[in-house]
């Protein structure tokens, strides 16, 4: 698997992956992101270098956004972590370890940047996603009520595992 920075031409690809994941999560009874995902928001995140595409044989199979800080959900903190957002794998490739591989890729990036932790948030009322992240070694650190988006989130953290 190859993970690369998304470019402007990838907005529709990334948006399609996010929309597919959002519809699937909706079928499970949870609301997450707007559909269609705001293309302008994605374009701005891509321009800032925050969005990545995971590819197998040149085909986009997942996406992730990685931030150097996340004061909205985690408050003001020292620069000790990278923050994983919008991690999705296309549904026809689910269950093959792609999401875990993307997390390990993010882990290596955090280690290379001298960060000690990976942090993320996920839907508090979705036991499946919470169990998934716990299986990947993340520990629950608290909850956050995102009033602006109407979401109840759980905050997770794990120590960076990669060594350089």
For the chain, which residues make up each domain, given as ranges?
Answer: 2-159
pLDDT at 151 over 60: yes
Spell out the residues 6+ positions from residue 73 whose beta carbon is closer than 8 angstroms to its own. Answer: 83, 121, 144, 146, 153, 155
- pLDDT of 10 reads 98
pLDDT digits (tens, 9 = 90+) for 19-65: 999 999 989 888 888 999 999 999 999 999 999 999 999 999 999 99
- pLDDT of 164 reads 54
- pLDDT of 113 reads 96
pLDDT at 162 over 80: no
HSE-up of residue 32 (Cα within 13 Å, Cβ side): 26
- pLDDT of 108 reads 96
Instruction: Give the whole-angstrom CA distance, residue 49 versus residue 121.
Output: 20
Query: Could you tell me which CATH number the domain at 2-159 has?
Result: 3.40.630.30
pLDDT digits (tens, 9 = 90+) for 64-123: 999 999 999 999 999 999 999 999 999 999 889 999 999 999 999 999 999 999 999 999
Produce one character per residue of 123-153: b if its CB has 16 or more CB atoms within 10 Å, e if not: bbebeebbebbeebebeeeeebeeeeeebeb
> What is the pTM for the complete model shown?
0.94
Q: Which 3 state secondary structure label does DSSP give 58?
A: coil
Q: How confident is the model at residue 163 (pLDDT cuts 50, 70, 90)?
A: low
């Amino acid at each position: 698997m190859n993970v690369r920075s998304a470019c402007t031409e990838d907005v529709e690809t990334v948006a399609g992956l996010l929309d597919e994941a959002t519809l699937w999560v909706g079928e499970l009874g949870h609301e997450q992101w707007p559909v269609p995902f705001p293309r302008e928001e994605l374009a701005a995140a891509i321009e800032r270098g925050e969005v990545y595409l995971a590819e197998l044989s040149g085909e986009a199979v997942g996406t992730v956004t990685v931030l150097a800080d996340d004061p909205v959900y985690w408050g003001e903190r020292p620069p000790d972590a990278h923050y994983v957002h919008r991690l999705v794998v296309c549904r026809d490739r689910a269950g093959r370890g792609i999401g875990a591989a993307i997390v390990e890729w993010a882990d290596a990036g955090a280690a290379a940047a001298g960060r000690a932790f990976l942090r993320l948030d996920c839907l508090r009322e979705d036991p499946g996603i919470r169990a998934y992240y716990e299986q990947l070694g993340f520990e629950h650190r608290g909850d956050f009520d995102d009033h602006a988006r109407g979401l109840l989130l759980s905050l997770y953290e794990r120590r960076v595992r990669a060594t350089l």
